[in-house]
Amino acid sequence: MHRPLLFSLRSSGMLCMRSLANTQHARRLATGVTTSLPKKLQDIPILTKQLKDRTLAKLTLANGIRGVLISDPGTPTTGAALSVEAGSWRDGKHEGTAHFLEHMLFLGTKSYPKEYDYERFIYDSNGQLNGYTASDHSLYYFTSLTPTAFDGALDRFSKFFYEPLFNESCVDREMNAVHQEYLKNVEQDGWRILHVRKALSNPEHPFSGFNTGNLDTMKLINQEYLKDWFKQNYSANLMYFALLGRDPIEVLAQKAEKAFGGIPNNELVTLSTAGCPIFPSSLHGTLVWVEPIKNLRELTLSWEVPIEFADMATKPAALASHAIGYEGRGSLLSSLKRDELAEGLSAGKSHLGADNLLFEISVSLTDKGLKQWRDVVQRIFEAIESFKAEACPKYLYDEINYIRKVGYQYQQRNADLATSYCGMLRKEGMETFPARSYFIERFDASGVRALLDHLVPQSCMYMMVSQKSEAPLEFTEKWMGAKYGLQRLEAELPKWAATSASPAIKFPEPNRFVPTNLPLEERSGAPPQLLVDQAAGKMYFYPDEEFLVPEAAYIFNIKTPAIRPDNATSLVLASLYNRFVHERLNELSYDASSAGLHYDIWVHQDTGVAMQIDGYSEKSLLLMKEVLERLRNPEFTEGEFAIFKESLVRSYKNAAKNPPVRQAMEKVSETIYEQYCSSDMLAKAANDVTLDDLRDFSRTLFSSRYIEAFAGGNLTSASAMAAWELVLADLPGTACDPSSVQKSGVRPMTGDRPEFRTKDLGVKGNALVWVCELGKKDVWKRTGQQLLAKLSKEPFYTELRTKQQTGYIVSSGLFEANKQLYLQAAVQSSTHDPRDLLARIELFQEAFLRDLVESADIESRFDSVKHSLLERLRQPYDTLASKLRFFNYLAYEENANFLAISERIAALERFTLDDLRKFAKETVGRTNRRRLAVLAYGNDDESKEFCYRLMNSKL
Residue 6 has pLDDT above 60, yes or no: no
Q: Which amino acid is at 922?
A: E
pLDDT value, residue 45: 86
* Cβ atoms of residues 135 and 87 within 8 Å: yes
Residue 248 pLDDT level (bands cut at 50, 70, 90): very high
Q: Which amino acid is at 442?
A: R
CA 209 to chain centre: 27
pLDDT value, residue 514: 96
Strand partners, 488: 286
Residue 11 pLDDT level (bands cut at 50, 70, 90): very low
HEC string for 645-670: HHHHHHHHHHHHHCCHHHHHHHHHHH
Q: Residue 530 contacts by C-beta under 8 Å, 6 or more apart in sequence?
A: 538, 539, 540, 896
Residue 321 has pLDDT above 90, yes or no: yes
* Cβ atoms of residues 18 and 45 within 8 Å: yes
HEC string for 380-398: HHHHHHHHHHCCCCHHHHH
Strand partners, 906: none
* Cβ atoms of residues 379 and 502 within 8 Å: yes
* Cβ atoms of residues 507 and 396 within 8 Å: yes
Residue 42 has pLDDT above 90, yes or no: no
H or E stretch at 36 = none
What is the C-alpha separation between 676 and 693, in angstroms, rounded?
Answer: 22
Taking alpha carbons only, the member of 312, 316, 394 closest to residue 359 is 316
Taking alpha carbons only, the member of 516, 538, 519, 518 closest to residue 529 is 538
pLDDT value, residue 1: 54
pLDDT tens per residue across span 96-120: 999 999 999 999 999 999 999 999 9
Q: Summarize the confidence of residues 617-634 as an average pLDDT.
A: 97
* Of 578 and 11, more confident: 578
Give the burial class of 398: count Cβ atoms within 10 A of its Cβ; 0-12 exposed, 13-18 middle, 19 or more buried: middle
Taking alpha carbons only, the member of 590, 683, 642 closest to residue 366 is 642
H or E stretch at 80 = strand 78-84
- CA distances to 123, 771, 907 from 781, in Å: 21, 16, 10
What is the C-alpha separation between 109 and 106, in angstroms, rounded?
Answer: 8
Indicate the average pLDDT of the chain: 93
Judged by average pLDDT, the poorest of 74-88, 531-545, 623-637, 938-952 is: 938-952
> Helices 913-923 and 779-797: crossing angle, nearest 10°?
80
Q: Residue 781 contacts by C-beta under 8 Å, 6 or more apart in sequence?
A: 774, 775, 821, 919
Q: Summarize the confidence of residues 317-327 as an average pLDDT.
A: 96
pLDDT tens per residue across span 194-210: 999 999 999 999 999 99
Residues 641, 645, 649: CA angle, nearest 5 degrees? 175
Extended beta strands in 858-942, E state = 931-937
pLDDT tens per residue across span 361-392: 999 999 999 999 999 999 999 999 999 999 99
Taking alpha carbons only, the member of 837, 853, 834, 845 closest to residue 789 is 845
- CA distances to 117, 150, 852 from 795, in Å: 10, 21, 12
What is the C-alpha separation between 621 and 797, in angstroms, rounded?
Answer: 48
pLDDT tens per residue across span 221-241: 999 999 999 999 999 999 999
pLDDT value, residue 950: 78
Q: What percent of the chain has pLDDT over 70?
A: 95
Residue 29 has pLDDT above 50, yes or no: no
Residues 642, 645, 647: CA angle, nearest 5 degrees? 105
Q: In the chain, what are the helix, strand and coil shares in percent, each to the nearest 5?
A: 45, 20, 35
- Could you tell me the pTM of the whole model? 0.93
What is the C-alpha separation between 496 and 499, in angstroms, rounded?
Answer: 5
What is the C-alpha separation between 157 and 154, in angstroms, rounded?
Answer: 5
pLDDT value, residue 16: 32
pLDDT value, residue 18: 29
* Cβ atoms of residues 68 and 56 within 8 Å: yes
* Cβ atoms of residues 683 and 319 within 8 Å: no
DSSP per residue, 117-135: HHHHHHHHTT-EEEEEE-S
Alpha-helical (H) ranges within 220-345 are: 223-233, 249-260, 316-324, 332-338
Residue 12 pLDDT level (bands cut at 50, 70, 90): very low
What is the C-alpha separation between 30 and 255, in angstroms, rounded?
Answer: 12
Alpha-helical (H) ranges within 691-778 are: 691-700, 717-730
Residue 496 has pLDDT above 50, yes or no: yes
What is the C-alpha separation between 751 and 905, in angstroms, rounded?
Answer: 31
* Cβ atoms of residues 661 and 826 within 8 Å: yes
Strand order in the sheet with 128-133: 55-60, 66-71, 239-245, 78-84, 138-145, 128-133
End-to-end CA distance of the chain: 66
* Of 402 and 36, more confident: 402
pLDDT value, residue 525: 80
- CA distances to 151, 505, 508 from 379, in Å: 57, 10, 17
Q: What is the DSSP pairing of strand 551-559 with strand 608-616? A: antiparallel
Please state, as a whole number, how many other Cβ atoms lie within 10 Å of the Cβ of residue 604.
20
Q: Find out whether the peptide bond into 543 is cis, omega within 30 degrees of 0.
A: no
Ramachandran bin of 805, using left for φ above 0, alpha for ψ from -120 to 50, beta for the remaining angles:
left
pLDDT tens per residue across span 511-562: 999 999 999 998 878 899 999 999 999 999 999 889 999 999 999 999 999 9
What is the C-alpha separation between 737 and 535, in angstroms, rounded?
Answer: 8
What is the C-alpha separation between 590 and 323, in angstroms, rounded?
Answer: 12
- Length of the chain, in residues: 955
* Cβ atoms of residues 132 and 102 within 8 Å: yes
pLDDT value, residue 943: 72
Taking alpha carbons only, the member of 519, 317, 515 closest to residue 402 is 515
Residue 144 has pLDDT above 90, yes or no: yes
Residue 39 pLDDT level (bands cut at 50, 70, 90): low
pLDDT value, residue 467: 97
Taking alpha carbons only, the member of 823, 786, 808 closest to residue 907 is 786
Q: What is the CA radius of gyration of the chain?
A: 28
Residue 744 pLDDT level (bands cut at 50, 70, 90): very high
Q: Summarize the confidence of residues 472-489 as an average pLDDT.
A: 98
What is the C-alpha separation between 388 and 390, in angstroms, rounded?
Answer: 6
pLDDT value, residue 750: 87
